[in-house]
Every structure is written in structure tokens, then in C-alpha cells.
Amino acid sequence: MSAKEIVLRYGFNPHQKPARIFVKSGDLPFKVVNGAPGYINMLDALNSWQLVKELKQALNLPAAASFKHVSPAGTAVGIPLTDTLKRAYFVDDMEESPVMAAYARARGADRVSSYGDFVAVSDTVDGPTAKLIVREVCDGMIAPGYEKGALEILKAKKNGKFLLIEVDPDYEPDETETREVFGIQMEQMRNNAVATPDLLKDVVTRKKDFPPDAVRDLIIATAAIKYTQSNTIGFAVDGQAIGIGAGQQSRIHCTRLAAEKADRWYLRQHPTILDIKFKPGVSRADKNNAIDLYLQERLNKFERETMEAAMVDVPPQLTYDQKRDWLKGLKGVSLSSDGMIPFRDTIDRAYESGVEYVLQPGGSIRDEGVIKACDDYGMVMAFSNLRLFHH
């Protein structure tokens, strides 16, 4: 499908040259259709492609991911968007397709973090998806194919420099993978574990049943954390990730980060925020930043001026009680953890953000306390007996 080697613009940083990507035998399983990739672009592309490919195989729905710095800011499957989400994601004026809905959801999980993302979709890119991508600030994308019209739309982005990668959907890597750190070679069997409903069989709480939507959402959350820098906690609901707490040294800090992102995702759907009027010419990115500032409890002078510069009229900021009342509507959320949950504090915090279903490896000396916490809140929890660390 492609050459054995591609010269990259640079490595992790511009001063790290030369840089390349290559295979020792055969050809690379992808080709660069447009633009010139860098080292981090390729890390994002290869990790994000694996994620959306797994979700498509597991759920038989188009899947998309929004990657930043080799971790997903969001991921989702192509479930039709509600009118509320269309407004919250700034796509209420656009044609929708399953692939477009998947990416709108993936980017909508954390629209601030998704600024300058790398896009992955599991299916051929169609016109509605391409039209959405050209409206957003993105660095590139990977997909198994592009419709002719969509390709022309995307090639014009970034003055013709938008990175487009076409991957062979049938490619499977060798079982053993090798990497080099500080001149030392390390080798391991690649992580070929996949998120399936079989992971939910070992239910350890009093409540035993996972409804179909929770099974779907736990698969999405688990696939997402598999390709996220550990430690990671992932929240998902309604077919999409809504909060990913990545790369923290403490499990509770992962949980707090994921929960705060989930809260912000839901607060963006508050009628007060949906009705905010922005000044003519304000970009989508500036709208997202203004909303993010609006949701902060305290603003310095510069932040307040930035927010006011974007809005026609700044509505009175939501009080703590107003936010908590609105967040009571966030329910049925699924949580997946890439490692065992060592203390009940993760469950206590997760409950405040609507979590009702939990999947984690188990195996902590404090498992009984975590199970009790789930029982206290009426949650359903299963032990997957599968750790999914990723570095």
C-alpha cells in the first residue's frame, strides 16, 4: 500500500532531526495522502486508529476519536445527535451522517482539550464529516478511505497542508513489539486484549445487571483508557466518552479530573449556556474558551476581559447550587479504570457525577471497601481481571 520508510518533519520537537518512520520488512500499512507528518502526528495516528478500529469491531457502529499528545480527549460511536448536543457542539446548522456524528461527539467530550487534535475515524470519510473537520482546528486525520468530494474539501484545509493518512483496515501487526529508550531495546507481546461484554461477567456488587446502554458505554470507556497514558479513569454515557482523566500518578486524581470534565460536558448543555450570544466573527475556539471561563468559579481580570470580549452580554454566572441542581440530571454514567481502584474515594467522587456502572480490574487489598461503596450508592460493578496500563 505504501513505501518502507517515510521521512518525518522532526521528532518530538523541531530540533530532533532527522526523524523517520519505517518497517524492517514489507511496506508501511498506510500512505500519506496529503501533508507531511511529524513524529507525534504518527504516534497519534497509530494509537487513535487502533482505538476506533476496536470500537467499530466491538459495537458495529462508526467510531471516531479526538487525540491530543498520544491520548484521546474524546471518543464516541455514531449515534444520532440530540438537538441539545447539536447546539452544544456548534453543529446545529450542519448535515449529519453516522461518521460525522461520531466525530462531533468525540470532539464534543472536551472541546477545549480537542483544540488542534488529531482525528481518527473507523469508516470512509464522507462529505458531512469533512465539512465539520474543516471548521475545527485540527492537525490531521487517519481513516481507511476518503470519498472524492470529502478529500477535495480536506486537501484545501490549512492552505493545502492538512495531514491526511489513509490506512489499510486489514493490517494486523506482529504479536511482539519493540521500542528503544535511552539506547536500550525493550520487547513485549503487544496488548491484544479487547474490550468486549465478556469483561463484565464477574459482577461483585449486590446489584447485578448491566443494561445494554451501559455495556456499550463501558466498552467505549475501556477501549479509550487502553490507549490513554496511565493512570487513567474514563467516564462514558450515551455512546461517547465524556471525561478522561489521563496520566496522573494517583487514581483519585485521575477520577477527579475525569469527573470534572464530565461535569463540564453536562454543564455545557445548560439552557443558560446554550442561549449565550456571541459577537460576530468570534471563532469556534474562542467560543469554547469563553464558555470554559464562564464555568470557572473565579476569574482574574484578564480572564474576565477575554470572556466579555467574546459574548454580546455575559449572563449572571451560575451559582454553585444552580450547577449542582443541573448536574443531578447527569445519570447512567459508566466508569472504567485501567488499574485496580485502591480506595473508595474514587467511587465517592464518581457518584457525584452520575456514575452508576463501574468496570475495574480488581485485586486490591481494599476491594471489599470499594465494593461496599458501590453497594452504598446502588451501583453495579464488575471485576475485569484485566489491567490496561499504557505508556
Report, as residue numbers or ranges, the catalytic residues.
68-69, 231, 391
C-alpha 336 chain-centroid distance: 13
- What distance in Å separates the CA atoms of residue 386 and residue 391, rounded to the nearest whole number? 16
Q: How far is C-alpha 305 from the chain's CA centre?
A: 30
Q: Residue 338 in contact with residue 389, Cβ under 8 Å?
A: yes
Which among 202, 197, 239, 195 has a CA at the least distance from the CA of 334? 239
Q: List the beta bridge partners of residue 181.
A: 184
Any long-range contacts for 287-294 (C-beta under 8 Å, 24+ apart)?
A: 287/90, 288/111, 288/112, 288/115, 289/112, 292/112, 292/264
- At which residue does the C-alpha cell 530540533 appear? 15
Give the Cα separation of 121 and 256 in Å (integer): 29
Angle at 219 (CA atoms; ends 218, 224), nearest 5 degrees: 95
Partners of 65 in the beta sheet?
75, 120
DSSP assigned state of 225: H
Distance between CA 142 and CA 134 in Å, rounded? 14
What does the DSSP 8-state code read for residue 129? H
